[in-house]
Each structure stands twice: as C-alpha cells, then as structure tokens.
Structure 1
C-alpha cells in the first residue's frame, strides 16, 4: 500500500477493524462530538465548510452533518483504502462528501478556506504534528474552529494499546502538552472550551473495572494522569 504521507504509521488489522465497529461510532465518536458541541457553546455554528482530518472510514460524516449542517463537508486521510471506505460510507448515508487522499502535514486546500477542522483521535497518529497543526491553522478562516479530541501518552503508552494498536510513540504527549501546542500555534480558548473526559474505555489500566465493581473510587481531576483531552479552539479573527 502506498500512503499519501511518507511518515504514515500503518494501523494493525485489529485496529483497522475496530474503526468500523458500533463501539467506535457510538461510544467514541458520538461521545466526543457531543462533548465538543458543549465546549463550543450556543449557538453552534451551522453551514460553511468542514474538514474531517484523518476521517478513517467515514463513520463521523453523519454525526458531523447532524451537528453542524455544513454546506461543504470534506474528509481527508493518508490511507487510500480508508478513503475508499469513506466514499462507500458517504454513499450509504446519501451524503455529498469531498474526499482527499492526502497528508495532514500538507493539506491540498487554499488558505483560509474552511470554517471548521475536526481532528478526532488523529493527532497521536501523526509524526509531523507541528507541521500538521500549522496546516490546520492555514486552511482555517479567521474566526474558524479547530475541534480537537485526542488520547494522551498516559493512555497510548499502556500495554493494552501497545498490544492491539500501532502508534509513533516518540511523539505522544500529555494533555497539557497538547494544549500548549495549540496555544503556541496561536489558537485561543478558555477553560470552558476544554475538557478532560475520563471514559471507561480510556482508563489506562483496567477500563474502569475496579471502579464499576466498587473496589476503588475514581481519582478526581488533578490527581490522575489525564487520558483524554477535548478542546474547541479558535483562530482569532485578527492575528
């Protein structure tokens, strides 16, 4: 397989299959999009152009359409097979989606051409993270939104995830390090635009089993290694 990114890290077979499951769409994608909507606040942006970077197999398309009603929906992935599956998903949903087989670090779109960039569980797969973030900034219009939902090093660097999935471990970051990257790039946001979900599937050791069985209380924020970070951040209207 020839990928659109020279630094692409190929997913395992089980990881690729997981992205087609109901669990992924319902317990991961849907939950993240609902949380990002909350972080944006009311009124939600409607219409305009929206790009899903790292769209995978297109399971986000219907959820993004229902949430934001974009007049132009685009999906980008470096894996040609994923793009083919995304095209089939868009056809099943009866949705017009423009699909790009491309690298997040080299997005083939004009400057200031997008209203929203949706980056869900993609960034920790990218080797060239700084370049990708610069590209997100470039293609967003002034005032545009980056919807960023990411797993952190505390989760990616666990035996379960290392066993079943494949990632570039040298670029994994903490929640605060990801937020620092966003600030350094120039994105603006407040505490109300950021969340640190502690979902069962993201528990770093036992998927929350000890807590569900009543054998241990969940650690409060500030006393745990955050495994997820969601942020709705803006490119300022005036740089």
Structure 2
C-alpha cells in the first residue's frame, strides 16, 4: 500500500476492522463527539466549515452532521484505501464530503479556511505531532475551534493495545503533555473546556470488569493516570482575544 505520508504507521488487520465496528462507532466516536459538544463555552459556529483530520473510514461523518450541521465537511486522511471507504460511507449516508489525501503535518487546505477541526483518536498515530498541530492552527479561522479527543500513553502503552494495534510508541504522551502542546501552539482553553472520560474500553488492563463485578473500587479523578483527554481549544481572534 502506498501512503501519503512518509511517517505513516500501518494499522494491523484487526485495527482496520475495528475502525468500522459497531463498538467503535457507538461507544467511541458517538460518545466523544457528544462530549466535545458539551465542552464549548459558547455556542459553536453555525453552519461551519468542518475538517475531520484523520477521517479514516468516514464513520464520524453522520455524527458530525447530527451535532454540528456543517455546511461543508472536509475529510483528510493519508491512507488512500481509507479515503475510498470514506467516499462509500458518505454516499451511504447521502452526504457531500470533500475528501483530501494529505498528511496532517502538511495539510492541503488553505490558511484560515476552517471553523471547526475535529481530531479524534488520530494524534497518537502521528509522528510529526508538532507540525500537525501547527497545521491545525494555520487552517483554522481566527476564533475557530480545535476539537481534540485522544488516548494517552497510559492507554496506548499497555500489552493488549500493543498486541492488537500498531502505533509510533516514541511519540505517545500523557494528558497533561497533550494539553501543554496545544496551549504552546497558541490555542486557548480553560479547565471547563477539558474532560477526562473514564470509559470502560479505555481501562485496558481489564476493561473495567473488576470494578463492574465489585472486586475493585474505581479510582477517583486525581488519583488515577488518565487514559483519555478531550479538549475544545480556540484559536485566538486577531489581536489575541
């Protein structure tokens, strides 16, 4: 397979299958988009231009339409086969989606042309993370929003995830490190714009079974190592506001 990124880390067969499963769509994508919508301090832009960075097989499209009603939806991915599947998914959902073959570190998208940039479970696949984040900042309009939802190193670097999936392990980060990277790029957000979902599938050691069976008490926020972080971060308006 010829990918559109020199640093692309090819997914396992299981991983590629999982990204079109009901579990992925219903328990991961749908939940993340709903959570991100609740992290806005103000109403999101009406009829936005929305870019899905790392759109994969297009399973996010229907949920992004339901929640944000974009007037224009752009899907970007570095895997040509995934883009073919995204086109099929858009047709199945009777949606018009502009699909772009591009590395997130070199987005083929004009400056200041996007209102909302959705990056869900994509960043931990990227080797050139700083460049990708700079590209996200570049293509967003002043006042536009980055919708960032990511698994942390505490989740990615577990035996079950390393066994089933494939990731560039040397770039994995903690929740705090991801938030610092986003802030250092010039995005603005407050504590109320951040969440740390503690979902059953993100507890890779036992998927929450011991807690569900009453054999272990769940660790409260502040005493556990976070496996997920979601943030809605805003690109400042001209003049820094």
TM-score range relative to shorter protein? over 0.9
Indicate the residue corresponding to 2:181 in structure 1: 181
Distance in 1 (alpha carbons) for counterparts of 2:206 and 2:122: 23
Question: How many correspondences in the alignment?
Answer: 239
**Gaps (5+ residues) in structure 2?**
none
Distance in 2 (alpha carbons) for counterparts of 1:27 and 1:82: 21
1:165 is displaced (CA, Å) by: 0.1
Distance in 1 (alpha carbons) for counterparts of 2:110 and 2:92: 29
1:205 is displaced (CA, Å) by: 1.1
SS in 1 for 2:189: coil
Residues 154, 204 of structure 1: 8 Å contact kept = no
Structure 1 position 10 matched with structure 2 position 10: yes
Q: Aligned ranges for residues 47-196 of structure 1 at < 5 Å?
A: 47-196=47-196
- Residues 118-140 of structure 1 show CA distances to partners (whole Å, capped at 9, x for unaligned) of 00000000000000000000000
Distance in 2 (alpha carbons) for counterparts of 1:117 and 1:76: 11
SS in 2 for 1:105: helix
1:43 is displaced (CA, Å) by: 2.5
SS in 1 for 2:24: helix
Indicate the residue corresponding to 1:23 in structure 2: 23
Give TM-score scaled by structure 2 length: 0.98
Structure 1 position 206 matched with structure 2 position 198: no
1:42 is displaced (CA, Å) by: 4.7
- Residues 99-119 of structure 1 show CA distances to partners (whole Å, capped at 9, x for unaligned) of 011100000111100001000
1:44 is displaced (CA, Å) by: 3.4
SS in 1 for 2:145: strand
Distance in 1 (alpha carbons) for counterparts of 2:2 and 2:235: 33
- Residues 51-74 of structure 1 show CA distances to partners (whole Å, capped at 9, x for unaligned) of 000000000001001111111100
- Residues 181-232 of structure 1 show CA distances to partners (whole Å, capped at 9, x for unaligned) of 0010000000000000000000031100110000111000111110000000
**Gaps (5+ residues) in structure 1?**
none
Give the superposed CA RMSD.
Answer: 0.8
Give TM-score scaled by structure 1 length: 0.99
SS in 1 for 2:58: coil
Distance in 2 (alpha carbons) for counterparts of 1:147 and 1:68: 12
Distance in 2 (alpha carbons) for counterparts of 1:87 and 1:40: 30
SS in 1 for 2:104: coil
Distance in 1 (alpha carbons) for counterparts of 2:18 and 2:69: 27
Distance in 1 (alpha carbons) for counterparts of 2:15 and 2:204: 17
SS in 2 for 1:55: coil
Distance in 2 (alpha carbons) for counterparts of 1:41 and 1:59: 27
